[in-house]
Amino acid sequence: MQIFEVIELKEFPFMETREIVEGTTVRDILKNGCINRVFLLVDHDTKRILIYNCPQSSIKKQIYGGILAGKFRQQLKGFYRVYPLNMYSTTDKEFQEIIDKPLGPGRTKPIEKEDFSKPTPDRFIVNVSTQNPNMKKAIEYISQLPKQENLVRRFMIIGGQIFTDEEITETFLKEERHIIKPIKLGRLNNGFTFFKDHNYATRLIIKDRKIQGIELYVDKDDQSPPLELQIPIIYEEKFNKPGSIKTLINAFQIPDKMPEETEVQKEKDILSKDDFTNQP
């Protein structure tokens, strides 16, 4: 296993890598200052290039990590695949097996600024269009990702819809359990939005080079006043209303006898009277 760190530069190409040779295993590197760094792990046993973003790494450095992982793949003739190591929880067996792998020499060479060709001016206008992800599939994919330690998700944005987490009770016969489930608040209005009402930690979820969703987290021990949604949304009316299960059962029961003719006529008279009263 070889491990490289993403290094930011002040001039073009603004990025390069540095191979880390200190330490015996990947765990030794991650436990010694994985705060705002981005690492690229080249696993020669499984022919994978794993990107690991430390919890406080900047979005810019994470983007650089993806570009440099692609450069490594070119260097290795395309036989290696790129995978995000952050898709695993730190307690997962797969994650633990990866970080316990020993470090050693390999044929991967660091990507340096000389490996980038000089940029040329754009000669064509490229029409780039984005498409909203499938809502159900995006929620399922995001739900599989590991939860963030010491953070609580307050909002999640998928396409033009915004969600918040709500605790609901599910009943299975005599058993009740409480689960946290994303509840749709409404759809976003046109325009732009600044999230300035809180110190959010933002998680951007990408799959197949498409943005699946954006999550906004706050610190678990945050003591500030309750959050209020500061963005314009269009609330969607809910047509279902809570009711009694007894009323629902009675609605499906067949009466023992039909109501008397006089009672039916009285009801018709009342209905016709109401219609006359409501006329303009």
| Residue 2 CB burial class (10 angstroms; 0-12, 13-18, ≥19) | buried
Residue 276: per-residue pLDDT: 46
CB 162 within 8 A of CB 195: no
- 173 vs 244 pLDDT, higher one: 244
- 200 vs 229 pLDDT, higher one: 200
Residues 6+ apart with CB under 8 A from 158: 132, 133, 135, 138, 139, 142, 212, 213
Distance CA 69, CA 59 (A): 15
Q: Mapped to the 3 state alphabet, what secondary structure does the chain carry?
A: CEEEEEEECCCCCCEEEEECCCCCEHHHHHCCCCCCCEEEEEECCCCEEEEEECCCCCHHHHHHHHHHHHHHHHHCCCCCEEEEHHHCCCCCHHHHHHHCCECCCCCCCCCCHHHCCCCCCCCCCCCCCCCCCCHHHHHHHHHHCCCCCCEEEEEEEECCEEEEEEEEEEEECCEEEEEEEEEEEEEECCCCCCCCCCCCEEEEEEECCEEEEEEEEEECCCCCCCCCCCCCEEECCCCCCCCCHHHHHHHCCCCCCCCCHHHHHHHHHHHHHHHHHCCC
Instruction: Give the confidence band of 130 by pLDDT, cuts at 50, 70, 90.
Output: low
**Domain spans, the chain:** 2-115, 135-235
Distance CA 264, CA 267 (A): 5
Tens-digit pLDDT profile for residues 56-112:
888 889 989 999 999 999 999 889 999 999 989 888 999 999 999 999 999 999 999
Tens-digit pLDDT profile for residues 153-212:
888 999 888 888 887 776 665 667 777 888 888 877 777 767 666 778 888 888 887 889
Q: What percent of the chain clears pLDDT 70, i.e. is strictly above it? A: 74
Under CATH, which architecture does the 2-115 domain have?
Answer: 3-Layer(aba) Sandwich (3.40)
- Tell which residue, 51, 48, 52, 67, has the closest CA to residue 8: 67
Cα angle: 270, vertex 273, 278; to 5 degrees: 125
Residue 211: per-residue pLDDT: 85
Q: Report if pTM > 0.75.
A: no
Residue 168: per-residue pLDDT: 76
The pLDDT mean for the chain works out to 80
Residue 224: per-residue pLDDT: 67
Residue 265: per-residue pLDDT: 60
Cα angle: 241, vertex 136, 219; to 5 degrees: 85
Distance CA 128, CA 130 (A): 7
